[in-house]
Amino acid sequence: MNCNRKIQGLFSSCTAMYLWLPCVVEDRKSICVPKREGKDGTVRQELLTRYSGNPILTSKDLPFLCNAVYNPGAVKFGDKYVLVARVEDGQRDNRLHVAMSDDGYHFTINPKPIQLPPSAEHEPWEKHLYDPRITYLEKRYYITYCAQTFGETVRIGLMRTKDFEQFDRMPFITQPWSRNCALFPEKISGLYARLDRPMSGREAITFVSYSPDLIYWGQSKPIVLEPQTWFREKWGPGPTPIKTPEGWLLIFHGVWLACNYVYRLGVVLLDLEDPAKVVGQCPEFILTPREPYERVGETMNCVFSNGAIVEPDGEIKVYYGAADTCIALATGQVEALIEACQKGIVPKGQHYIF
């Protein structure tokens, strides 16, 4: 990780020059990529369409000085839309803030970060809290988050709330090193289930794990995707898995190392009974950095999602962090994502991506 950061640093100045040109070229009004012929000869459109008012939240919308606001968890709370966003303050320390909206597009952020009850055990691990995923489970909203020390050792914390005002702490649910954790919204075969992505060196493997009580976790099984060039470096779970009759729909991020890392979004369908089993995979990415706010920022060429909301009519609102700097929104249809997975490939499940 540190090594990659150094490599990124070395190349950042050359990349800035290289990126400037495409940004100017792509500084257009249209947010819908036109229909094009795909590799298989069929004419189609990208599966997610950007909201024309993007980005929907930037540091300028916040009533206090901060560096960035991005990577929100998302959930419907009664008739409100809730984001729990990652905010980097003026020291670049990360806190979680609740933002609410009546329509899913215009959000008002709480200037005070989420306050968790003090805990001497948690304190050293929580120099930074980030990348929350919200899961509605047994009438409570559970929020997993990355808990990271000053020295960047990271593990997964868990909190829960009924009202997005008071938050209870739960015990850490992983040891270091782990990121990208989402709870499933219901028990599977009588056990709570989660996805997370432990990482050691360059090896990043997503696991499904089970628990009788949300405290003790085990029976971990890896999820093996069919390798694709666009996520050759690593991939990790995005928002909370979405239950559909055809399987758990999982949006994920995939990383390719060009001059810097490039973060894109993909989609996969997991077996309802055994989510370690992939039943369909869309081979192409469903969102790639194209717009200036996705290409330029704290991390260039990055779209990263850990929050999505499905509407009753089947529309999916995918909230995503753009360039680790601001929050944007893209919408699509759950049915179309499922179809893309089913028509894609069924992974052989024989190898990891390394």
Q: Where along the sequence are the contacts to ligand BMA (CB under 6 A)?
A: 71, 130-131, 263, 299, 302, 304, 321, 324
Q: For 4-127, list the strands marked E by DSSP.
A: 36-37, 43-44, 49-50, 66-77, 80-89, 94-101, 108-109
- Show Cβ contacts of residue 353 under 8 Å, excluding neighbours closer than 6 positions: 225, 227, 231, 232, 234, 235
Query: Could you tell me the smallest distance in angstroms from the CB atom of residue 255 to ligand BMA?
Result: 8
Which one, 252 or 304, has the nearer CB to ligand BMA? Answer: 304
Which residues is 328 bridged to in the sheet? 320
d(CA 50, CA 71): 16
**How many of the other CB atoms lie within 10 Å of CB of 321?**
32
Give the shortest CB-182-to-ligand BMA separation in angstroms.
14
Give the closest residue to 320 by CA, choosing from 280, 344, 285, 353.
285
For the CB of residue 163, give the shortest distance to ligand BMA in the complex, in Å: 26
Region of residue 64 (left: phi > 0; alpha: psi -120 to 50; beta: else) = beta
Which residues on adjacent β-strands are paired with residue 327?
A: 57, 321
Give the helix, strand, coil percentages of the chain, each rounded to 5. 15, 45, 40
**Closest separation in Å from C-beta 251 to ligand BMA:** 14
Nearer to ligand BMA among residue 235 and residue 304 (C-beta): 304
Q: Which is closer to ligand BMA, CB of 210 or CB of 304?
A: 304
Give the nearer residue to ligand BMA in terms of CB position, either 197 or 269.
197
Q: At closest approach, how far in Å is the CB of 321 from ligand BMA?
A: 5
Q: What SS3 string covers 186-252?
A: CCECCEEEEEEEEEECCEECCEEEEECCCCCCEEEEECCCCCCHHHCCEEEECCCCEEECCEEEEEE
Q: Which is nearer to ligand BMA, 130 or 167 (CB)?
A: 130
Nearer to ligand BMA, 237 or 247 (CB): 237
Phi, psi angles (nearest 5°) of residue 312: -60, -25
What are the backbone dihedrals phi and psi of residue 10, each rounded to the nearest 5 degrees, phi first?
-60, -40
Compare residues 134 and 302 and give the one whose CB is closer to ligand BMA: 302
Supply the minimum distance, in Å, between the C-beta of residue 71 and ligand BMA: 5
What minimum distance in Å lies between the beta carbon of 159 and ligand BMA? 18
* For ligand BMA, the closer CB: 194 or 253: 253
DSSP state of 61: G
> Closest Cα partner for 82 from 170, 26, 168, 165?
165
State how far the Cα of 218 lies from the Cα of 227, in Å rounded to an integer.
26
Residue (294 or 324) nearer to ligand BMA, CB = 324
User: Residue 263 CB, nearest distance to ligand BMA (Å)?
Assistant: 5
By beta-carbon proximity to ligand BMA, the closer residue of 178 and 281 is 178
Q: How far is the CB of 190 from ligand BMA (least distance, A)?
A: 32
| Residues in contact with 41: Cβ distance below 8 Å, sequence separation at least 6, in sequence order | none
**Least separation in angstroms between CB 72 and ligand BMA:** 11
Q: How far is CA 38 from the centre of its chain?
A: 26
